[in-house]
Structure 1
Amino acid sequence: MTTKFYDRLSNDLTQLLENPIDYNVTIEVGEAPNNQIFEVHSYILQSRCPYFRKKLNETSFNKNNVKVLKMSNISVEVFNVIIKYVYGGKISLEKLENSIIFDLLTSSKELDLDELVEHLQTHLITTNDASWLKQNFAQVYQTCYQVKSFDIIQRFYNNIISQHPNTIFESDNFISLPEDVIISIIELDDLQLDEYKIWDYVIHWGRSKNPTLPTNLDEWTSDNFLTLKTTLKNCLPHVRYFNISSERVLEKLYPYLQLFEPKLWLDINTKLLTPEKPISSTILPPRKILNSTRTLPIPSNIITDEHALKISSWIDRRETTYTVNNPYEFKLLVRGSRDGFDVKTIFNICNKVSFTIIFVKVEDTGEIIGGYNPLKIHNSENRWYSSRNSFAFSLKTEDLKNSIISRVTKFGHAINNGSCPNNSWLQFGNALNLGGNLKTETKSYCGTSAYEKSIRSNSDRFSVEEFEVFKVSPKK
């Protein structure tokens, strides 16, 4: 029987890192003035890390018999975690924000620390139901695809895309995705989307890459079609044309006839008119569309489905949070980046609409705050309205359990949701005050009057990176 004293070994090696006796390597990490020099030992680095084994073999000792390395692309905070793992085989993630953990993941990949790469992926997927990964979908998905080795997160994202394709196709980042990412998505066999809609999105992506193309298709020349065909040459073979109905072929494909090779276009029509007749074109299998009714994700650039479940639980005054089957539908009414950031826009678009909720992403800090308003919004009659069910809130993306709800306590001073020429404020008591142009002006602030507690740790005025207003209705 072999007895293993790994804890003692780990602690002793970690002490060697903290008191680097006989070090023979220095690593300058980060950029000045936030850089830091680590004094470490080549024999530990080479035995534990393939990257350092190669790097140190290529580096000569200086006159002080020390090898000098520089790693400006890794932050001091991230390298601190990595070097402690290299020496002691231990890692603690509890106090790290998920954005830092993702940076740690990409750095671990660069250093060929495969064990750490696998552990960090699993951690991000299992922590808080992967809410951070869902919140930062487009950015992380693109990084994962480019890196190739983040297979655990890649499979997680492919499952989301397959079941909820609008998550990616309707995002603001869709048109900025590179070609290889687009191809990887439309290759998915279980993508839950009608084939003609996939065609629409491919065309939309291609046209966005050529902004000089005429908006009106009737004005296109042969050169315009050739430009789009060139852009989409690697995407078009992955559309499953033989699974598109005749009506949709006429409506969707025919206007872009010049994108097709003559033989493929003939085969598409042959298959529609005489299905049993052999053709030479490759017929891709149909998508594996589920028969059950799918619940589409909330159409938001700010919050995730998990956030929506938390809000719904607060609306119903539940002690425990809904985890599946949200009883409410969230219909997007206003989005700042789409409709404008002036508060008056909310009053104009949402006039006489009740049961609304506003989500605000604070500039610079990324905080998500907002308020639930069961009353009708008015684009006139600026005054305070009474409510017993309104509340303000702060949603935490790192740990949803730490989110803050502040319910109204002074009912007659609950909501100021009317607009007039001399006033452009939307107010939840003093708990949330949104004024003027939310993006270009720094008027908005949070307090405590008329509501239970403050939803922010300070009362500083702020501007807004994005905001969205939803109509909240019980599902039928």
Structure 2
Amino acid sequence: MEQNFNLIYQTCFENDSFLELQNFCTNLTSEEPDKIFKSLNFASIPEKLLITIIQSDNLQMEEIQVWKHVLKWGLAQNPELSSDPANFSKEDFNTLKNSLHNCIPFIRFYNLTSDEFSKEILPYKKVLPKELYKDLLKYFLDSNNQSIKQSKSRMTTKKNNIDSKIITTQHAELISKWIDRLKITDEIETAYKFQLLFRGSRDGFTAKKFHEICDNQSNTITIVKVKDSTEILGGYNPIEWNSDCCYRATKDSFIFSFRNSDDIESYILSRVKDEQRAIYNSNDFGPSFDYGLILINDSGLCGKNYYENQIRETEDGFIVEEYEYYDVTIEIGNDPYVKYIYDESISLDKHDIRNIIDILVAGSELGLQELIDYLQSFLIETKANWMEQNFN
């Protein structure tokens, strides 16, 4: 399926009935620009799509990277040009200037540093409009000007799709892979929703409060921030918690740690090896994966016992700085077994995206708004599948 994203983008912006899909495409390209900028198909995206991306205030990218990608796109439109501007003729600069003419106004040059301007912009000064180049030169040569004239800033704070004070979306994605027993390099097959049920700083750290809120909940993730360290600890329990002071059996529980919260690869994953003693329920404890990971109010400890690996270098106790507990459920829109049209007789997964676009257009022509809404939702909710197929 070639150029599916381009097809979806072009189709949705040709018809005002697809406003939801238009908004989704705009938000997606702003929040995940690398999906496009680093894709093999980047050189072939339409100029209109490129401009839509770079003019967004919410584009999650530093301005110098925006310039580099726009420049890369312009050079790709003219493969006869050298990659080194030192080898350009006057005609070469004019060719590149014509290709970038409509993009240049959306580059926020005044947000660059002087060093970035000197190293990355000056070699291509001849592709800039003369007045713009003069203004930039004055701006970067005179430090007094830099406190006055600036481009509008982009909101480059990454969106975090999980309500957590401890982990990021990247941690959640890796944990999702572990739930499905995937390798870290595998693509996510099932999208999970992490619904916050309990937070220590909000609800209290006592075992009593934990059981009041969390008993009878299954498919849950425990996340712990260790005080005075960069460590994150956690565990997954697919069965219910309760207070009956008994062991519970499961083959699918696991515990884990991240030695450095900022390093997604600094993890230890430990799956249960004694299924009959995977989980221990007690009203004196919070979540307890036996002694693999056990929380007692605002403290805890980690050993080995019935799990494959010890997730901390020491068995000494630790103090909990923050503690969160999540209900983990499959997002319906991303479950391949529940995507059916109306009577559940047709699975959209079995159809080429081009066919789905044809149905979307036909639905618009026939005024079938319910069908339009359904197909737009399907395309949006399954973005991971078609984005990865076409931009990796």
TM-score of the pair, normalised by structure 1: 0.37
| More contact order relative to length (CA 8 Å, sep ≥ 6) | 2
Structure of higher CA gyration radius: 1
TM-score of the pair, normalised by structure 2: 0.44
